[in-house]
Structure 1
């Protein structure tokens, strides 16, 4: 067993996650010591939690398109580690899902990230990941942060690919015209780096 396997067991057995154990949920993150790209997202959706496959939904199809990755490339942990801000489906809210639990990422990300020594690019999907990893460096709004994505290396902030952000994408056509091609270039460079 690897250190990452031990961390997964520790997460599953932690008292704060007893509710998830009782529901039959396993902590949903994907990582390998050889991952080249780290994707930090919000939390698994209902469908992903049930299948045990992150981004196993229309959001995932859109995200893979933005990254310029095939399904095989995306789901190869040697290429991409997927480490959400919470490893469990948080439940449904009025609009979208409940936010990831406060403090979860601060507790569980550091021991995982210590193992990911080959990461060349960290993609921050949505406001929760951006707030956690960029802190005061981020712009006042998600739109401004994503617009300035190229200035945050080795981080690359993007909007969430959820259908709920369709209106945002329509109001900000520069994202798919300018930011997505830049993201795809950085993804290819990270995968090719030796």
Structure 2
């Protein structure tokens, strides 16, 4: 009888430890998913933007994969896990990282930064005052993919000098749609 009580006690303790361990592990997994390490699936693919002001015409293309984005034919920007560093590293000029998401006026934006920008979400550097060590002056780029007016639209914006997310440009899955909606503005975005 005494042996049976000891076995039950040991099994109960093991169950409690395993249960607590799995709860803690679940919490960490959820926290880890809050900051993505790849571009979301709905953003991946080739997107087009058409610009005209009556005199100039320009068709731009951005290609997004799981871990890269490439504007036109420039060298791809590659996502890396952020490692804190206190000096600019110009050998990693095409490295990018994702600090997380930021919400503004009901729109959720994915913040993407160049390697030598400050690590906080959307927090811009103060500028070229000589005290920033050359760390750039903006809060990175912001990506949002949503269905607008029946079309899947990739919106890319930025911040400059601590202002809100603005300067939005919209990108479409086809050249035809990009030309058709070139000057279309959507509610909630700052231009």
TM-score by length of 2: 0.29
Bigger helix fraction? 1
Bigger strand fraction? 2
| Larger gyration radius, structure 1 or structure 2 | 2
With CA pairs under 8 Å and 6+ residues apart, which has the higher RCO, 1 or 2? 1
TM-score by length of 1: 0.29
